[in-house]
Structure 1
Amino acid sequence: MTPAPLDRRGLWMAVGAFVIWGVMPLYWHLLKTVPSLQIIMHRIVWSALLVAGWLFWKYGRGWLRETLAIPRAAWMLALSGALIAFNWGLYIWAVNAGHVVETSLGYFINPLLNVVLGVLVLRERLTAVQWLSVAIATCGVLWLTFNYGSFPWIALVLAASFGGYGLIRKLVGVPPVRGLGVESLYLFLPGLAVLLWGEFHGAGGFIAHDGMRGWGWGVAALLVLGGALTALPLIGFADAVRRIPYSVVGLLQYIAPTLQLLCGVLVLGEDFGSDRAIGFVLIWIALAVYAGDGLLRSRRRPLPA
């Protein structure tokens, strides 16, 4: 049976999301003077205001009730919101602590995990060549894991948390922007409470008060803009996982860690020896095999009558 053609909008939404995520280490590096917990809470609060505000403006108050009325949506979106908040927190801490290369390893492992979840949980099927690409990528990930120099717990936890988030969003069947809006509202009040506590107990600097100097208007603007940069790729990702097979999403996702790796090594000056290079080359070969197989199958597909 000839595989169905991929949804082009879903494909480009996935690519766009992964490109934004790939260059985000440079953005968070600009905020290295801000404590990681503060960055995370600002991410939550400003993205919640942006997404929920837009939904209330376009659909009125009914959108929240309608979304939560979808079977399993309330508790599944609460779980996905907790997973993505945890993922953000660990990621930002790791970037500003000088572990960009290890975070890229986590997001190299994550697409492989997505392929496995797509096959085992969602009953998706792979061709023989696609299985070969998965096997090559697995060898690359195992090489990186055992030659990293220390147990890569940051990478493994990032992969598991984001893999779980994507799977839940695939299963819940909620429109992507509405789903992100519900997740944001679940996280908004806790995030706002932490920010306010920090501002009035000397742990924050978004607003200068009582003689305390703030971080400055430039940093404050970056924190607010971080909300938009949080929401947009998540919307694209959630839309993509509903339109294209999860196994395809998993392999496209190698775009983000490749860009993260380049940012960490070429811009931020992190170490990248020959042992690590071998693992990354194996993963890139796997991507080339998968992409080449898809291109050949699309050319061989007969035209409609």
Structure 2
Amino acid sequence: MKLSINVKDENTTGICYGIAAYSLWGILPLYWKLMESVPALEILAHRICWSFIFMLLVVYFYRKRGSLSAIIANRKKLFLIFLCGFIVSVNWFTYIYAVNSGHVIESSMGYFINPLVVVLLGVTVLGESLGRWQLVAIILAFVGVLIITIQYGRIPWIALILAGTFALYGLIKKMIHVDSLAGLVLEAFIVMPIALTYIAILEKGGKGSLVSSSPAVIVTLAGTGVITAIPLIFYARGIERTTFSMMGFLQYIAPSLQLFLGIFIFKEYFPLTHFISFCFIWAALAIFTLANAGVLKEHSAVGQKIKAAEIETKKV
């Protein structure tokens, strides 16, 4: 009986950590808005550098140095980590640009359709079969994206880049099986020389924010390391204590909060066509979630592999 209570408490704690992680990711646009005067590329460079410093401290605190050594000793894994570093940098830049250019709603769409892109990667890259309900979900999501494309008069590239990079990042991380904290440190370390060089060039030319910005902006830039690491730590603790399926369900907290911020806080344009488009995407996600949970009978080999890859993408 006591063991049962302890397991239940652990699961509840895991859910709380999951809610905290996804909620922080969801309200992250508020933080990026504090640096609206700073170019997105410069914010990205600072985020890479400060994330590396903070995550290195976290790895040292959690005694993950052995995990770092194991990755460095494996050339194949190190190359894939390099690839992950590039992909996550593209994702971070796109997200920061989206927030500070008034496209928070479009960025939320990217996170909503991300699980469906994971399924497509599973089919096209891993050769897994596509279930009937998964096919229905993908078609509905495609219709939703098509509607907003027609309304915009252009492809919603921000949403597609965010979804694509998240999915690709998760797929690679799933293939190499490395410790998430150690992997993130190396991803930042690999691209940090480029970021540092860019910051140095800006500062030398008198255009960098460390010279020209207020102390508040400088502190906010330094805080990008903390704001990146804390949700990841919460996520890691959550996934240790609760199930993949529960974390998969909780992941929709983040884009829901982003959509709320875009409409009600940042007052972005959200006409009826946007709402209809999102309705198609939400219907697709409902079908996808029910199929993965076993409520809808599915005849595919995607199963747990896709669920695990879906969760892995949220580690960005």
SS in 2 for 1:206: helix
How many residues are matched? 286
3-state SS of paired residue (2:225)? helix
Match in the other structure for 2:311: none
1:185 corresponds to: 189
**CA apart distance, 1:279:** 1.3
**In structure 2, what is the Cα distance between the partners aligned to 1:192 and 1:125?**
44
Counting only pairs closer than 5 Å after superposition, residues 165-176 of structure 1 correspond to structure 2 as 165-176=169-180
Paired letter, 1:227: G
**What is the correspondence of 1:117-132 to structure 2 with a 5 Å cutoff?**
117-122=121-126, 129=133, 132=136
Partner of 1:217: 215
In structure 2, the residue matched to 1:264 is 262
1:242 Cα deviation after fit = 10
**Percentage of identical aligned residues:** 39
The corresponding residue for 2:5 is none
Unaligned 5+ segments in structure 1 are 1-6, 208-213, 298-305
Question: In the alignment, which residue of structure 2 is the partner of 1:30?
Answer: 34
Q: How far off is 1:224 after superposition?
A: 1.6
Shift of 1:228: 1.6
CA separation in 2, counterparts of 1:287 and 1:93? Answer: 26
The alpha carbon displacement at 1:238 in A equals: 7.7
- CA shift for structure 1 position 234: 4.6
1:45 aligns with 49
Preserved contact between residue 64 and residue 182 of structure 2 (Cα < 8 Å): no
Contact 1:170/1:242 (<8 A) preserved: no
- Residue 3 of structure 1 corresponds to which residue in structure 2? none
CA contact (8 A) 1:166 1:238 kept: no
Asked if 2 retains the 8 angstrom alpha-carbon contact of 1:113 and 1:250, the reply is no
Please report the TM-score for the alignment, with normalisation by the length of structure 1. 0.78
Q: Distance in 2 between matches of 1:105 and 1:243?
A: 29
Deviation of residue 15 (structure 1)? 5.4
More helix by share: 2
Say if 1:248 and 1:69 are closer, same or farther in 2 by CA, change over 3 A: farther
- Does the CA contact (< 8 Å) of 1:13 and 1:236 recur in 2? yes
Shift of 1:246: 9.1
Measure, in 2, the Cα distance between the counterparts of 1:58 and 1:163. 27
Query: Where do 1:276-291 residues align within 5 Å?
Result: 276-291=274-289
- How far did residue 232 of structure 1 move? 3.5
Determine the structure 2 residue equivalent to 1:300.
Answer: none
What CA distance in whole angstroms lies between the structure 2 residues aligned with 1:295 and 1:109? 18
Change (3 A) 1:105 1:244: same
Deviations 1:80-105 (A, max 9, x none): 00011111112212221222222223
Change (3 A) 1:291 1:8: farther
Say which of 83, 86, 95 aligns to 1:82. 86
| 1:44-89 Cα deviation digits (max 9, x unpaired) | 0100001123324554865432222246211000000001111111
**C-alpha distance in 2 between matches for 1:242 and 1:126:** 29
Q: Which amino acid aligns with 1:31?
A: M
Q: Which aligned pairs between 1:208-247 and structure 2 lie closer than 5 A?
A: 214-234=212-232
Contact 2:49 2:192 in 1 (8 A): yes
Calculate the aligned-residue CA RMSD, in Å: 3.6
